Amino acid sequence: MRKAFYLLNFLLLGSFLAALVVDQDRDWKDYQKKYYRMEAESLRKKLESAPEPEKAELRAQLASFERRPLEIKQIIVDDLGRVDRCITCHAGMDEFTNPSMTTGFSEHPFVARRGDAHKTHDFKRFGCTSCHEGQGLALTPEAGHGKVKHWERPLLAKPYIEASCVRCHGNFEKLAGAQTAALGKRLFEKNGCIGCHSLRGVGGSISVDLGDIADKPLSRIDFSGAGLKRLDWNIQNWIELHLTKDPMQLSPGDPEGHLGEPIPPSGMPPFYETMKPEEASAITAYLMSMSEESVPHKYFVYAPPAPAPRFPDARSHGKAVFEKYGCAGCHGLGGAAGRRNFNARGPNQTKMEEGREPTLVDTVGTFSREELVKKIQDGVPSTAVAKFKEGGPTPPLYMPSWKERIQGKELEDLVTYLLSIAKKEEAW
């Protein structure tokens, strides 16, 4: 019994000593030690050549750095529910001990530059992670930047940090520093994404609502076709991959029905064939702003209402309606090239992958004005889309009914625009 007691005490002592060793070897302590040492060395050099009247102040600063304790520093922002310890390592950005938030160091994490955003976003009011994301309570670089398993909000680097601008600024389209996110919104609208996807209930019903895409749990995503390392599994990369890689590879479905009823792969267009990398990043930055996380009213910057657009004629208005409701998402820009639609029967088709939505410039001319109105109002349900292979999956794209959303002058002018783009028959 006594031997067991002694052994237990030795084990406890060993655990205590091991904890002390580990505690002394923390990353943040090494960073603080080095930062204070670098600051002290910089002050000594200044002291050597400084005029006599300035030396007393420099000596006081030097003494302060030489006796400064190593400590965990944190910013608590109750309004935003944030507790951020980032300045524990990023000591140069601690506005309490370095009010200018500038240093002469270029080495990370000692570099400190007070940018325009920092001047208008006081750390004591905003913290760090409310803009940058990451894991505020962490004390290692990997964990703090969100490069760990099960942490779903990794650090937002440029240009993706602009997503945070969108969440708080209703006027972000004109905001300096948010140009990439503003471009992303324009591209999202131009490519007709809203025709299939909704944003907080506004938009199409063909695919998922993206109004909370930034909050989507990773447990609900199959990354097996992504080709990413495990630590790179995050929503940012998932969004961007859909724009830079074939969505059919990311979400292949089960077209042959090996697991039951045939399921088509993703119906998302192959944007990767034509979209530039910087455009994909811009759309990603914009969509990363789509979160259900509420922003207190006193933090939100409201934008004045935009003036109602004016159009010179019915055709111009109809084109704007075409873009407003995302018709290009399925029919291509200006209706000039129908998007692919797996297993939908199309021209010159030899396999399920070659199915396409109608190219409007080729097809609208075969309808009368009244027939086009009825087609838009009634739509074409997925079950009515003609299949290439009858036993194959239901095509993922279909024409929804628009009678509740496109009405009156919008409907009238949309039809006018569609008839104007119809391929003209050769005159004899």
Interval 221-237: pLDDT, tens: 999 999 999 999 999 99
Identity (one letter) of the amino acid at 110? Answer: F
Q: Flag whether pLDDT at 148 surpasses 80.
A: yes
- Three-class HEC string of 6-61: HHHHHHHHHHHHHHHHHHHCCHHHHHHHHHHHHHHHHHHHHHHHCCHHHHHHHHHH
pTM of the model: 0.89
Quick one: pLDDT at residue 16? 44
Cis peptide leading into residue 270 (ω within 30°) = no
Q: What is the percent of the chain with per-residue pLDDT over 70, rounded to a whole number?
A: 93
The answer to whether 152 and 232 have CB atoms below 8 angstroms apart is no
**Among candidates 46, 53, 31, 163, which has minimal Cα distance to 109?**
31
Read off the pLDDT band of 102 (50, 70, 90).
Answer: confident
Question: What is the reported pLDDT for 95?
Answer: 82
User: How many angstroms separate the CA atoms of 76 and 123, rounded?
Assistant: 9
Residue 215 sits at the vertex; the CA angle it makes with 121 and 238, to the nearest 5 degrees, is: 105
Specify whether the CB–CB gap between 182 and 173 falls below 8 A.
yes
Spatial separation of the C-alpha atoms in residues 26 and 145, rounded to whole Å: 16
pLDDT above 50 (res 217):
yes
Cα 171 to chain center, whole Å?
18
pLDDT, tens digit, 9 for 90 and up, residues 104-132 = 888 889 888 777 888 889 888 999 999 99
pLDDT score, position 425 = 65
pLDDT, position 23: 42
| Mean model confidence pLDDT for the chain | 91
Q: Which helix (H) or strand (E) holds 282?
A: helix 277-287
Q: What is the per-residue pLDDT across 17-34, written as a single tens digit (0 to 9) for each? A: 443 334 444 899 999 999
Which tokens go with 230?
A: 């495990």
What string of DSSP letters covers 62-120?
HHHHHTPPP----EEEGGGTEEE-GGGT-GGG-TTT-TT---S--STTT-----HHHHH
**Look-up: residue for tokens 């199409």?**
204
Distance CA 327, CA 192 (A): 6
Measured CA to CA, the distance from residue 72 to residue 127 in angstroms comes to: 15
pLDDT at 24: 44
Phi and psi at residue 101, to the nearest 5°: 50, 45
Among residues 375, 326, 352, 190, which one has the least CA distance to residue 257? Answer: 352
Residue 222 β-bridge partners: none
| Contact assessment for residue 377 and residue 352, using Cβ atoms and an 8 Å cutoff | no
- Residue 7 banded pLDDT, cuts 50, 70, 90: low
Query: Does position 141 have pLDDT exceeding 80, yes or no?
Result: yes
Buried b (16+ CB within 10 A) or exposed e, 231-244: eebbbbbbbbbbbb
Query: Taking 70 as the threshold, does the pLDDT of residue 193 lie above it?
Result: yes
Structural domains in the chain? Answer: 24-144 (no CATH), 162-299 (1.10.760), 314-421 (1.10.760.10)
Task: Determine the residue type at 87.
Answer: I
Mean pLDDT of 373-392: 95
67 confidence band (pLDDT: 50, 70, 90)? confident
Mean of pLDDT values over 370-386: 96
User: What distances in angstroms separate CA 154 from CA 176, 211, 279, one per listed residue?
Assistant: 24, 19, 21
- Report yes or no: 151 and 143 within 8 Å, Cβ to Cβ: yes
Distance of alpha carbon 162 from alpha carbon 180, whole angstroms: 7
pLDDT at position 2, please?
A: 61
Helix segments in 85-234, DSSP class H: 116-120, 123-126, 129-132, 141-144, 162-168, 179-190
| Both structure tokens of 63 | 């003494």
Q: Do 274 and 250 contact (CB within 8 A), yes or no?
A: no
Q: 426: pLDDT confidence band, cut at 50, 70 and 90?
A: low
Query: Which helix H or strand E contains 200, and what residues bound it?
Result: none
- Mean pLDDT on 181-208: 96
pLDDT tens, position by position, 318-352: 999 999 999 999 999 999 999 999 999 988 899 99
Q: Report the C-alpha gap between 62 and 36 in whole angstroms.
A: 10
